Amino acid sequence: MKREIAITQPDYLVEDWPGKYQVFSWLEYVITVPNPIFLVTTRKANGAPNANLSSWGLLLGEQGQYSSLLALLDNSHTYANILREGEWCVGFPAFETYPECFATIRHNAPDDDEITQAGFTLEAAQTVSAPRIAECSVSLECRLAWHRPLYESSPWHLFVGRITHLAMDEAAMAPDPVTRLQALELMYNVRSTVDPRTGAQFGPNSLGLLSRVEKIFPG
């Protein structure tokens, strides 16, 4: 049976870490639609490589305007770096690199090389000065087109960048979509969940992988 759910956060909901439902909407944990995980790479003011593990973003756009959209907190290194440099790279890591992906979170001091210290390999981009990550089988180079706060006074800001160059591993170019997705081994961020009826929480966050691809149209 489908239930109607008010979007107002209920009083009985308890945070399992301070500020959880200020940084994220409680509905993020009710709806729990997985998003693909990616790495946003930039350079800090001192030139050190920066890496931001994220799952809030998407790819969109028409001919000649294919773009990446990011949602970034205004107190993050990546936010400041993009405003200063006007460019970034997006890389899609495979599941086997998840330890390195999460290591980028720990290595976030101003002088840290967040890519190599996490165990990844730096790779030069072709059209921007932001670094790429060699282990990402798909790398997109992006130049800032526009940005704005999600809402007035929101700490979350939307950034859209036109994709200026693309690099892909040959295995990720397989014409068969099943073979291609198996080669990519993309990870998805599966949030911990909240029962909106009771406030009961189940977690922590998990990593999801595609387990099935169906070809529903004739070839």
Asked whether the bond before 204 is cis by omega within 30 degrees of 0, the reply is yes
49 Rama sector, left if φ>0, alpha if ψ -120 to 50, beta otherwise: beta
Nearest to 128 by CA among 104, 161, 172: 161
Q: Tell me which architecture the domain covering 37-208 has in CATH.
A: Roll (2.30)
DSSP-assigned states of every residue in 32-50: ---EE-EEEEEE-TTS-EE
At residue 16, the pLDDT reads 86
At residue 27, the pLDDT reads 95
Amino acid in position 9:
Q
Tell me how crowded residue 37 is: count the other CB atoms within 10 A of its CB.
20
Tell me how crowded residue 116 is: count the other CB atoms within 10 A of its CB.
15
At residue 145, the pLDDT reads 98
Q: Report which secondary-structure segment, H or E, holds 31.
A: helix 27-31
- Whole-structure pTM value: 0.93
Q: Where are the domains of the chain?
A: 37-208
At residue 219, the pLDDT reads 64
Strand-pairing partners, residue 132, are 123
- The per-residue pLDDT string of the chain (219 residues; one tens digit each, 9 = 90 and over) reads 999 999 999 999 999 889 999 999 999 999 989 999 999 999 999 999 999 999 999 999 999 999 999 999 999 999 999 999 999 999 999 999 999 999 999 999 999 999 999 999 999 999 999 999 999 999 999 999 999 999 999 999 999 999 999 999 999 999 998 899 999 999 999 989 999 999 999 888 888 888 777 777 776
